[in-house]
């Protein structure tokens, strides 16, 4: 049996130049190529973008290749469902919403399996890293909105009266389950944790044109099939405090069947002890400050993948730090 190489892995991001992007990822210390940069796929193993490991034994190898070699030792027994479909379970992104994104919705797994081949559905969450004054996003519909009225508004090209606008600020988090009508508006830098999917159904693109001068495609019928019209005027939720002791404040942000994301706030010098016991990979992302993850120095903003079978690990804050921790729970039997 080949020797397993399990260690904290970092990656070279894959950049996307969608029309709504800008240059604001430079605020995060990123060295960008010329032109628009809308998304930085930080940890990705998808046909539309796969990151390469940039440290250790697997340096220069695609995440998909590493996954093929390590299997459940990388992603964990809680992700057996993903392994059976040949999928890495999560996708981690940074987004620069320099202009509004389209109004859109993502399907669930069942709908995607029927209509999009082997693609997954897409539940996701956002953490607002930076927000201009007055920044907002769209989540859900206004009270009284029906599918019929909504469809007619799409035909008229005037959807605004049915959209629920939600003010947001730096530090907010938003859980976006599949079926949520949503749009990230301008003036926001966001970290996104999501299912490993790139399936998006646009319903409204502000009557603008793409880089080729033509309107970008809409996916109205599919969108109307999957929009949850019962998601009426949701609000930003407060994080749930799980533990506050020994210089670490640990909060739960989102919990669904695909991932749990927590926020940990570290005082300088404190150490968190953890264990990757084979059940799930863990992704740790420093969004403020700096630290060391099992000997690997990490500066914000940087995401690190811990293989599921890695075993005991430690996270040491070398400064006051805020860290996102994401992992996959066991599925109900």
CB proximity list for 207: less than 8 A, separation 6 or greater: 157, 215
CB proximity list for 29: less than 8 A, separation 6 or greater: 301
Burial degree of 195 (CB within 10 A; 0-12, 13-18, 19+) = buried
CB proximity list for 85: less than 8 A, separation 6 or greater: 118, 120
Q: 40 has which bridge partners?
A: 15, 94
Question: CA–CA separation, 324 vs 238, rounded Å?
Answer: 15
Contact 35, 17 (CB under 8 A): yes
Give the tokens for residue 156. 């008229």
Q: Which of 99, 202, 250, 302 is catalytic?
A: 202
Q: What 8-state DSSP symbol labels residue 192?
A: E
CA–CA distances in Å: residue 246 to residues 26, 66, 253, 273, 313: 34, 36, 21, 12, 18
Place of tokens 């926020």: 263
Our answer to whether residue 202 is catalytic in this structure is: yes
Q: What 8-state DSSP symbol labels residue 1?
A: -
Residue 76, SS3 per DSSP? coil
What values do phi and psi take at 141, rounded to 5? Answer: -120, 165
Just list the catalytic residues. Answer: 202
């Amino acid at each position: 049996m080949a020797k397993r190489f399990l260690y904290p892995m970092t990656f070279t991001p894959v950049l996307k130049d969608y029309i709504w992007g800008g240059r604001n990822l430079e605020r995060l210390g990123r060295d960008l190529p010329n032109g628009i940069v809308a998304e930085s796929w930080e940890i990705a193993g998808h046909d539309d973008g796969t990151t390469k490991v940039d440290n250790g034994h697997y340096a220069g190898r695609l995440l998909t290749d590493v996954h093929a070699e390590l299997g459940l030792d990388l992603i964990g027994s809680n992700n057996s469902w993903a392994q059976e479909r040949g999928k890495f379970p999560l996708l981690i992104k940074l987004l620069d919403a320099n202009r509004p994104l389209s109004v859109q919705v993502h399907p669930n797994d069942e709908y995607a399996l029927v209509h999009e081949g082997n693609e997954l559905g897409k539940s996701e969450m956002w953490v607002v890293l930076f927000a201009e004054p007055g920044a907002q996003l769209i989540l859900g519909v206004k009270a009284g909105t029906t599918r019929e009225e909504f469809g007619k508004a799409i035909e008229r090209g005037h959807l605004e009266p049915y959209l629920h606008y939600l003010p947001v600020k730096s530090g907010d988090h938003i859980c976006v389950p599949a079926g949520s009508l949503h749009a990230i508006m301008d003036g926001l830098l966001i970290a996104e944790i999501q299912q490993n999917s790139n399936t998006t159904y646009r319903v409204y693109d502000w009557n603008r044109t793409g880089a080729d001068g033509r309107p970008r495609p809409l996916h109205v019928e599919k969108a109307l099939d999957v929009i949850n019209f019962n998601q009426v005027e949701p609000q930003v939720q407060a994080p749930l405090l799980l533990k506050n002791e020994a210089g670490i404040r640990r909060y739960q942000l989102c919990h669904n069947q695909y991932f749990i994301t927590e926020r940990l706030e570290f005082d300088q010098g404190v150490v968190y002890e953890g264990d990757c016991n084979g059940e799930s990979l863990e992704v740790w992302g420093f969004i403020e400050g700096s630290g060391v993850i099992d000997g690997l120095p990490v500066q914000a903003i940087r995401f690190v993948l811990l293989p599921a079978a890695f075993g005991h690990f430690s996270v040491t804050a070398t400064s006051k730090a805020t860290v996102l921790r994401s992992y996959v729970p066991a599925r109900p039997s």
